[in-house]
Amino acid sequence: MKKKFKLEDLDCANCAAKMEEAIKKIDGVNDANVSFLAQKMTIDAQDGKFDEIMKEVVKVCAKVEPDCKILV
Amino acid sequence: MNKKQKKMLVRIVIAFVLFAILFICEHTGLWEGIEHTWILFVIYLIPYLVIGYDIIFKAARNISHGQVFDENFLMMIATFGAFGVREYSEAVAVMLFYQVGELFQSYAVGKSRQSISDMMDICPEYANIEVDGKLTRVDPDEVEIGSIIVIKPGERIPLDGVVVEGESLIDTAALTGESVPRKASLGDEIISGCVNGSGTLKVQVSKEFDDSTVAKILELVENASSKKARVENFVTKFAKYYTPIVTISAVALALLPPLILGGGFGEWIQRACIFLVISCPCALVISVPLGFFGGIGASSKLGILVKGSNYLEAVAEMTTIVFDKTGTLTKGEFKVQEILPEGCDKEELLEIAALGEGYSNHPIAGSIREAYGKTINMNRVGQAEEIAGEGLRVPVDGKEVLLGNEKLMKSSGIAYKPCESLGTIVYGACERKYMGAIVISDSIKDGAKEAIQSMKQVGVKKCVMLTGDRQQAAAAVAGELGIDEVHAQLLPGDKVSKVEALLGAQEGKEKLAFVGDGINDAPVLTRADIGIAMGSMGSDAAIEAADVVLMDDDIGKIAAVVKIARKTLRIVKQNIVFALAVKALVLLLGALGLANMWEAVFADVGVSVIAIMNAMRALKITK
C-alpha cells in the first residue's frame, strides 16, 4: 500500500535525504520517498502493518529531524 | 516570508545591532582597560546566544539522538573553537553570517517551490452542482459519475465530462501549452484542468475526480521527483561521504600538526573550524534536485509531462528516435485518396464499392463509405461472402460484385490493371468486368516534417520509422519526412525486437526514444530508454506506459523537451562544479591558513544561495 503524507517545517534537503534513508530501513517498508521540494513523503509499506510502521516512521523522523512534523 | 523566517529576521537585526556596538567598542580601544578576558567573553556571549541559541539547542538535541554530523553541530563546534582561541568577534560574526545565509536560503527555496507549484496550479477547487434549480459549490471529490455540473465563464473545469448544454471556447494552455482555445459544444468531451472561456457549459461528469485527467497529471508531476537522475544519486552518495571525511580531516588538522611540529593548538584549531563550516554539502543537496524539478516544471508548462528526473537526463542524451508510423507521423485516419475508374465514372465505382462494403466494419470500408457520403440503401445489397485475405463477393442490385486486393482479382481471373499508387488499394469488379481501383491511405500529420527537422537540429542523429505497412508506402512517407531508416511490414511483435536491435547498436551513453500513440505499443514504450507517448488527452494506457507524455500529440515538441533537458543538465553540472570548486579551494586555503571564517561561511551558505538561484533558471523556458 502506498500513502502520501504532507510534511511541515522540513527545512533542510540533507535532512530529507537522511529521513528517507532511515525510513527505508524500517522493517516492512518497501519503499519511501521524502521530497524536500514538494514537502511530501510517500511511503510504500506492507498492508497489514501500515499503522504500526507509520508509528515507527514518526519516531524515526523525530530522531533525525525533530522540527519536522508529519501530518497524518 | 513566513512566521519562522520573520522571527529569524528580528533576531538577526537585534544580534547585528549588538554586534555593531561591540565592534565599535573594540576598535575604539574601549576594551583595552579590561584585564580579565572572561568579561569580554561574557559580553560577546550575549549577541552570540541571541543569534545562535537555537543552533546550540538543536546540536545538543541531535547528538542525544545519535545524529552527530549535522550542520548545527558543526557550526557549534566551529564557533566554540573560535571562542576557545579568543576570537570572540569572529565567533559572533560567523554565527550571524551563517544565520543570514540560512534565512536567505530558506527564503529562496520557498520562493522557487512557490513558483513551481504556481506553474502546476491546475487543480480545481470546486465544482458547481445544480440542486433544485440552485447552484451549490461542492468539492470535486464528491461529485459522482453521471452528475451534471455547471461551469461558469472563467472557471476551471473540475472534472472530465461531456458537454450536454452550452457552447464555449476552452483554454487548454495549462495542460497542453497550446495557446489557441479549443471550441467545445454539445457532445464534445472536455478535460479537467482547462479553463472555460466565455460561455456557460453544462457537463455530464464521466470520471471520478481521482481518475480525472487533472488528478492523474498532478500525481505524475508530484511523483516525478522520486525517480532520481544519475547525477542526483551521485550527489546523495557524495554527501554521505563528504561530511564525515571533511570532519575527520578537521580533527586531524587540529591535532596532528601541533603534535608533530609542536607549537600552540590555537592556530590549528582555527583552521580546523574552517573545515567544519564547509563540511555541509547543502549547496549540492538542494540545488541539484531543484534544478531537475525546474526542468520538469518547464516541460509541463509546454504540455510535456516528464515522469522523472532520470528521464529528463536520458532525453538530454537521446541520439536515436524511433517512430511508430500510424498515429504518430501520420494522422491515423484512412481516407480515400484516389478513385481510378475503368470503363465507368468515379461516382459509379464509389457507389458500388460503398454498397458492397456496406456491412463491413473494417476501417477501409468505413473510409469508402465516408468518401461516398450519401446514405446507403442496404436493400440493394444481398448476402456478402467474405474471402479471407482477399476481399468480398457481394450481390449488389442482383449483380455479382467483387471488392478486394490483387489476389482476389487474380484468383477470380479478372483482367485488372495493377495500380502503382501508394496506400491500400481496393479493386472492384462487377459481373466479372473490371471497374477500377480505389486508393486509400493515411495522410502525414501537419508539421511532422518540421518536427523531424527540429529534432535533427538539436542533435538527434538518427530517426527511424517502424510500420506494419508495405515497404513502398512506408518508404514514400519516410522520404517525404526525412527519416533515415525504415522498417516496414512489421507485425506488432516485431517492433519490440527491432527496437531491441537498435538499442543494442547504441554506443556508450547514447539513448534511444520510442514515440508511439500508445495504442498497441505499450511493450515497446516500456522497452525503449525513453518511451514517448501521445497523450491524446486521457488515453490512460499511453500515459501509464510512457516516460514522457506529449499532452497535445504534437511531436514538434520533442525538440523543445530536448532543449529543456540539456539546459537543466547544464545548470545542474554548473552547480556541482561551482560548489565543489569553491569548497575545495576554501578547504585548501583554510588548511594552509590563508582563508578565514568569513570565506568559509561563504563557501557554505553563500554557495548554496548562488546555486539555488542558478537552479531556478531551469524553470524558465527558452524557445
Q: Quote the domain boundaries for residue B213.
A: 127-217
B165: in domain: yes
- Distances in whole angstroms, Cα of residue B444 to Cα of each of B330, B364, B453, B477: 4, 17, 15, 7
Q: Report yes or no: B124 and B156 within 8 Å, Cβ to Cβ.
A: yes
Q: What was the pLDDT predicted at B69?
A: 67
Handedness of CA B500, B505, B510, B516 (dihedral sign): negative
For residue range B117-137, what is the model confidence (pLDDT) as tens digits? 666 666 777 888 887 778 888
Q: Which domains does chain A have, with CATH numbers?
A: 2-71 (3.30.70.100)
CATH number for B396: 3.40.1110.10
Surface of B (308-337) touching A: CB under 8 A: none
**pLDDT > 80? residue B422:** no
**pLDDT > 60? residue B537:** no
Structural domain ending residue among the three candidates B158, B187, B217: B217
Q: What was the pLDDT predicted at B118?
A: 67
Q: Is B324 annotated in the active site?
A: yes
For residue range A17-62, what is the model confidence (pLDDT) as tens digits? 788 888 988 888 888 888 776 777 888 888 888 888 888 888 888 8
Measured between CA atoms, the residue of chain A closest to residue B115 is A37
Q: What is the ipTM of this complex?
A: 0.70
B210: in domain: yes
For residue range B210-254, what is the model confidence (pLDDT) as tens digits? 778 777 777 776 666 667 888 888 888 888 788 888 888 988 988
The alpha carbon of residue A45 is apart from the nearest alpha carbon of chain B, in Å, by 16
Q: Residue B225 is nearest to which of A35, A64, A66, comparing CB atoms?
A: A35
Q: Count other Cβ atoms within 10 Å, centred on residue B11.
A: 18
B122: in domain: no
Structural domain ending residue among the three candidates B217, B239, B265: B217
B231: in domain: no
Nearest by Cα to B533 from B558, B512, B509: B558
Query: Chain B contacts of A40, Cβ < 8 Å?
Result: 222
Q: Which is catalytic among the residues B160, B171, B324, B442?
A: B324
Q: What was the pLDDT predicted at B329?
A: 86
Helices B71-84 and B88-119 cross at an angle (nearest 10°) of 160
B349: in domain: yes
State the Cα torsion B85-B89-B95-B97 to the nearest 10°: -130
Q: Strand (E) positions, B358-451?
A: 385-387, 391-396, 399-404, 424-430, 433-444
CA–CA gap between residue B165 and residue B181 (Å, rounded): 19
CA–CA gap between residue A59 and residue B293 (Å, rounded): 29
B533: in domain: no
The alpha carbon of residue A37 is apart from the nearest alpha carbon of chain B, in Å, by 6
CB of A30 within 8 Å of any CB in chain B? no
- Distances in whole angstroms, Cα of residue A15 to Cα of each of A1, A18, B232, B286, B504: 25, 5, 15, 11, 40
CB of A44 within 8 Å of any CB in chain B? no
Percent of chain B at pLDDT exceeding 90 = 13
CATH number for B171: 2.70.150.10
CA–CA gap between residue B352 and residue B58 (Å, rounded): 87
Query: Is 0.80 topped by the overall pTM?
Result: no
CA–CA gap between residue B31 and residue B44 (Å, rounded): 12
Amino acid identity, position B152? K
Q: Count other Cβ atoms within 10 Å, centred on residue B312.
A: 31
Domain count, chain B: 2
Looking at every residue in chain B, the average pLDDT score rounds to 83
B142: in domain: yes
B431: in domain: yes
Which residue has cell 487533472?
B214
Nearest by Cα to B595 from B256, B280, B275: B275
Structural domain ending residue among the three candidates B177, B201, B217: B217
